[in-house]
C-alpha cells in the first residue's frame, strides 16, 4: 500500500523496490506519484468506474475461483526507514488469517461490531483494523485524515457512528481521553485495542475512573 501523504521520494522507492505489475490509484492522488513505468488503473475516473460497476458481483465469488492459497503474497509493507532505507516485509494470506485465528478466542467480534480505520493503510496496524471488521462481517468506518488529526472530531465520530471496536496507539488514546472529558457525548465502545508503541498503564487511569473495564475492555496487543 502507498500512502499519498508520503514524500514523493519514498513513494518512488517503494514502487521501484516492490516492482508491482499494476497500480490502483484514485484520480485525485495521481499528481503526488513520482515518474514511474507501472501501469495504472485510475479509480474514480468515469470510464474506470463504469467498467468496475459492470463487473461487480451481487455475491462473493467461490473461494477457490481466484486460485489463491494461504501461501500467496497478500501485500508488502515497509518499515519507516528511520535507520536507513525502508525494508519491505512480505506478508502472505496465511499470515493475516493466522492473526485472527490466533486471537479469536480472546475476543468476541461479530457482524454487529463497528470498527474504525484510523491509521494509514501503509501502517501495519491497519491490517488488524481492516480485516478485523471485514472478516467478521462488521462495519468499517474510514476516518477522514482531517478528522483523525482532531481528537475532538474523532471522538465525536466514534460516538455518532456507535463504534464498538477502537484500535489506537497509546499516545493517540491519551488525546482521545482528553477529548472525551470535553464532550457531552457518550461512546459505545466495548473493546479498545492498543498497539504500535509501548503502553504506560498509568496513562489509562483517567479513562478507567469513568468507564469500568466490565463495560469497555482495554487490550494491550503491542508486539503481537
Q: What is the CATH number of the domain that holds 195?
A: 3.40.50.980
Tell whether the model's pLDDT for residue 48 goes beyond 60: no
pLDDT tens, residue by residue, 150-187: 999 999 999 999 999 999 999 999 999 999 999 999 99
One domain for residues 195 and 120? yes
Instruction: Evaluate whether residue 38 is within a structural domain.
Output: yes
Q: How far apart are CA 91 and CA 81, in angstroms?
A: 18
One domain for residues 32 and 112? no
Instruction: Evaluate whether residue 141 is within a structural domain.
Output: yes
pLDDT over 70 percentage in the chain: 94
189, with CB counted inside 10 A (0-12, 13-18, 19+), is buried
Residue reference for cell 482521545:
176
Q: How far apart are CA 57 and CA 51, in angstroms?
A: 12
Report DSSP letters for 88-100, one per residue.
Answer: EEEEEHHHHHHHH
One domain for residues 128 and 70? no
Within 13 Å, how many C-alpha atoms sit on residue 22's CB side? 5
At residue 39, φ and ψ (nearest 5 deg) are -60, 135
Instruction: Evaluate whether residue 98 is within a structural domain.
Output: no
One domain for residues 72 and 155? no
| CA quadruple 41, 45, 46, 50: dihedral, nearest 10 | 30
One domain for residues 30 and 80? yes
Q: How far apart are CA 220 and CA 171, in angstroms?
A: 13
Q: What is the pTM of this model?
A: 0.85
Residue range(s) defining the domain that contains residue 43: 8-92
Tell whether the model's pLDDT for residue 195 goes beyond 80: yes
List the grid coordinates of 73.
503474497
Q: Of 92, 120, 154, which residue is a domain's last?
A: 92
Under 8 Å between Cβ of 189 and 166: yes
One domain for residues 77 and 111? no
Tell whether the model's pLDDT for residue 6 goes beyond 80: yes
How do the residues of the chain divide into helix, strand and coil, expressed in percent and rounded to 5?
A: 40, 20, 45
Strand 23-26 vs strand 40-43: parallel, antiparallel, or unpaired?
Answer: parallel
Q: What is the mean pLDDT of the chain?
A: 90
Q: Which pLDDT belongs to residue 53?
A: 61
Under 8 Å between Cβ of 173 and 194: yes
Instruction: Evaluate whether residue 161 is within a structural domain.
Output: yes
One domain for residues 82 and 137? no
Q: Domain count for the chain, please give it.
A: 2
Q: How far apart are CA 138 and CA 218, in angstroms?
A: 20
Under 8 Å between Cβ of 206 and 181: yes
User: In 19-77, which ranges are continuous DSSP H helix?
Assistant: 46-55
Under 8 Å between Cβ of 187 and 158: yes
Q: How many CB atoms lie within 10 A of CB 192?
A: 20
Strand, helix or coil for residue 165: strand
Amino acid at each position: 500500500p502507498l500512502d499519498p501523504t508520503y514524500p514523493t521520494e519514498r513513494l518512488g522507492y517503494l514502487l521501484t523496490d516492490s516492482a508491482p505489475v499494476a497500480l490502483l490509484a484514485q484520480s485525485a492522488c495521481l499528481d503526488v506519484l513520482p515518474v514511474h513505468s507501472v501501469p495504472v488503473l485510475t479509480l474514480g475516473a468515469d470510464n474506470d468506474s463504469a467498467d468496475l460497476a459492470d463487473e461487480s458481483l451481487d455475491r462473493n465469488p467461490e473461494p477457490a475461483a481466484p486460485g489463491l492459497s494461504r501461501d500467496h503474497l497478500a501485500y508488502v509493507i515497509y518499515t519507516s526507514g528511520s535507520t536507513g532505507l525502508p525494508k519491505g516485509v512480505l506478508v502472505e494470506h496465511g499470515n493475516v488469517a493466522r492473526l485472527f485465528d490466533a486471537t479469536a478466542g480472546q475476543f468476541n467480534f461479530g457482524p454487529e461490531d463497528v470498527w474504525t480505520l484510523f491509521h494509514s493503510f501503509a501502517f501495519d496496524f491497519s491490517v488488524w483494523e481492516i480485516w478485523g471488521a471485514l472478516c467478521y462481517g462488521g462495519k468499517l468506518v474510514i476516518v477522514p485524515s482531517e478528522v483523525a488529526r482532531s481528537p475532538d472530531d474523532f471522538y465525536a465520530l466514534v460516538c455518532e457512528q456507535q463504534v464498538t471496536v477502537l484500535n489506537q496507539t497509546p499516545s493517540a488514546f491519551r488525546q482521545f481521553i482528553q477529548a472525551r472529558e470535553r464532550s457531552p457525548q457518550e461512546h459505545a465502545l466495548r473493546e479498545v485495542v492498543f498497539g504500535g508503541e509501548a503502553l504506560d498503564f498509568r496513562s489509562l487511569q483517567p479513562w478507567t475512573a469513568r468507564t469500568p473495564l466490565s463495560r469497555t475492555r482495554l487490550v494491550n496487543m503491542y508486539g503481537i
